[in-house]
Amino acid sequence: MATCVETLGPLLGTAAGNATGYLCNRFADTTSAVDSTYLLFSAYLVFAMQLGFAMLCAGSVRAKNTMNIMLTNVLDAAAGALFYYLFGFAFAFGAPSNGFIGKHFFGLKQVPQVGFDYSFFLFQWAFAIAAAGITSGSIAERTQFVAYLIYSAFLTGFVYPVVSHWIWSTDGWASASRTSGPVLFNVVWGALIEGPRIGRFDHAGRSVALRGHSASLVVLGSFLLWFGWYGFNPGSFLTILKSYGPPGSIHGQWSAVGRTAVTTTLAGSTAALTTLFGKRLQTGHWNVIDVCNGLLGGFAAITAGCSVVDPWAAIICGFVSAWVLIGLNALSARLKFDDPLEAAQLHGGCGAWGVIFTALFARREYVEQVLGQTGRPYGLFMGGGGRLLGAHIVVILVIAAWVSFTMAPLFLVLNKLGLLRISAEDEMAGMDQTRHGGFAYAYHDEDDGKAGHGVGGFMLKSAHSTQVAAETGGHV
């Protein structure tokens, strides 16, 4: 592709050499400003996913653990910011480095520089804390708070950044691949080592539903995550002012960004509808919780290949991901695996399917445009052979091994020291009351029919008021 000087030079003439240089520099400044603004906006969208995770987690647990799960989501962002600033970003993108781990930019030293501005750090931090948020939901309602702080910091500051380096850094050994990284298996190890919640399975081993307390919060969280995914997937291009053709062409990064948003939408929507009818046939009910999980499973699956597949292929991705989720949920119940948010099945199973799907349906034209190189392997079903499929299988296996090697020993040590799971008494009472000073909210039925108590005498009292009433014999 011709440079700015090569394009403007003949138009302005040799006498206008200084003007050509000036205009090209101004164009470069404008391009950098637009790309940086685009990346910052995408980072804000990805960060908004934390609110989605908070609402989804809160609605999916019982009311007695609401404050606990909300606090863990807040600390995902707060503690994650500090540890990613100190160590995580350097391990992920500290170039020049080797193929395994980065070794520069600790504490953002030598930032900003070309290719590593503050907007890039903010975007990658938002990704890192999303990985931690997924894990918190999978072991909810039974994990000690100190254990959560330890594994969240370890995941954000070391485990996730190393995988990010492999896949996202130009120095990484798997830089041609794209996946959601260590969220594939850290959720499995935590839930396996802790074991199921009390009452999740009866004495005969049959599954007992421990339903979350608010379907409204689950739906709200799902929509917020859907909104944030438009920063998660399209934002991963990092830039938008890049042309794929001659001046005036409609083909450019801006078009690829739009296509990526479309594939994301179609995969999630197809998965939601497939889950709706699949679970209807299975249970006889139209269940909004199942639909929301199916929707998110479709998003998790399409993330790996959202930028290199056609919209019609995204529909296939979403359809299969719904059945992957349904099948893994049935398997989890048989194995007595307890994940309150289905995070392992959703992000692990559907995410792994998405990596395989990309190796089957990636289109050659899109791969070359996104990577900026020709001759790269593309989808098996698109005529590209099996090279990409083999590479993606290796990536999945290596990530599984890495996360097992790092996170499993951590959870085992915490369990051995008695720092992982709360006592049975605390679990039955709920962590809001035993660990966080009171309930998030408490509902009371009022039978005296006094005015102002709402329909049927149903009213809401704060946890503080309830506690004071108990201490004063009922007089607040």
Judge whether 102 and 110 are in contact, CB under 8 Å: no
Burial (Cβ within 10 Å: 0-12, 13-18, ≥19) of residue 203: exposed
In degrees, to the nearest 5, what angle opens at C-alpha 343 toward C-alphas 313 and 56?
100
pTM exceeds 0.85? yes
For residue 423, give both structure tokens. 């006592």
Judge whether 338 and 191 are in contact, CB under 8 Å: yes
Q: Torsions phi, psi of 444, nearest 5?
A: -135, 135
Nearest to 216 by CA among 126, 292, 329, 129: 292
The stretch 398-413 carries a mean pLDDT of 91
Rounded to an integer, what distance in angstroms lies between the CA atom of residue 294 and that of residue 321?
8
Sequence-ordered list of residues with C-beta below 8 angstroms from that of 28, at least 6 positions apart, any chain: 4
Nearest to 402 by CA among 195, 173, 196: 173
For residue 34, give both structure tokens. 């637009």
Residues of the chain by 3-state class (helix, strand, coil), percent to 5? 70, 5, 30
Q: Tell me how long the chain is.
A: 476
In the chain, CATH 1.10.3430.10 sits at: 21-426
* Count helices and strands in the chain by DSSP H and E runs: 19, 2
CA dihedral (244, 175, 408, 350) positive or negative: positive
Q: What is the pLDDT of residues 291-345, one digit of tens each?
A: 999 999 999 999 999 999 999 999 999 999 999 999 999 999 999 999 999 888 9
Distance of CA 166 to the CA centre of its chain: 18
pLDDT value at residue 451? 43
pLDDT value at residue 294? 97
Report the mean per-residue pLDDT for the chain: 85
Lowest mean pLDDT among 19-33, 45-59, 83-97, 446-460: 446-460
Q: What is the pLDDT of residues 50-103, one digit of tens each?
A: 999 999 999 999 999 999 999 999 998 999 999 999 999 999 998 888 889 998
Rounded to an integer, what distance in angstroms lies between the CA atom of residue 376 and that of residue 360?
14
Which CATH superfamily groups domain 21-426?
A: Ammonium transporter AmtB like domains (1.10.3430.10)
